[in-house]
Amino acid sequence: MLKDREVVGNMVDDSVNALIKRIDEDSIRLLLAGPAGVGKSTHAQAMFGNFGISHISHDLEKQGKPKSSPCKLHQFDPYGCFSDAISSKKQFVIDIGAGTVFRKDKEENEARLKRMLDFKHEYNLKIVVLIADRTVVRKQFLKKGDHQQFINACDEWKIAYPWWQKCLDFEFPV
């Protein structure tokens, strides 16, 4: 079993190294998006472990927040959610939930897209969407959730993905 973990760890390290090389900048400022189970948290944690790049997780940001929090889905605001955490950091990676930003309401998504683009430009972020084969994502997702949750997460991603395409810098296969 440990051998499997080492193989997975090496694959993630290789992927993170390739991602850092692709960015090719002194100051790494990333926002990772992608479907549930694609490895956003795993990659962000590896960036922290391998390069000391601060990892800011949206999942951690919303835990224990009051209902009116800017990190909650119904009123997601990247400024209110992340500005304090990133304002003093030269390098960071934000790991954002799969269905967090873009939802079913098109008008709301237009406003969220504008906020995300403004946030991206103000903090000089690169938005990277991690992509993987659906069977790989399913396998990872089912370690933490059930099949129906996976179907729901896939449905959320189908809605969110076209909106992410409007603000991403590049997609990165993992």
Q: How far apart are CA 40 and CA 138, in angstroms?
A: 14
Q: In CATH, which superfamily holds the domain spanning 34-173?
A: P-loop containing nucleotide triphosphate hydrolases (3.40.50.300)
Q: How far apart are CA 151 and CA 61, in angstroms?
A: 25
pLDDT in tens, 72-124: 766 778 998 899 889 889 999 999 877 778 988 899 999 999 999 999 999 99
pLDDT of residue 143: 85
Q: What is the pTM of this model?
A: 0.87
Q: Cα 60 to the chain's mean position, in Å?
A: 12
- Indicate the length of the chain as a whole number: 174
List the Cα angle 28/30/31 in 5-degree steps. Answer: 170
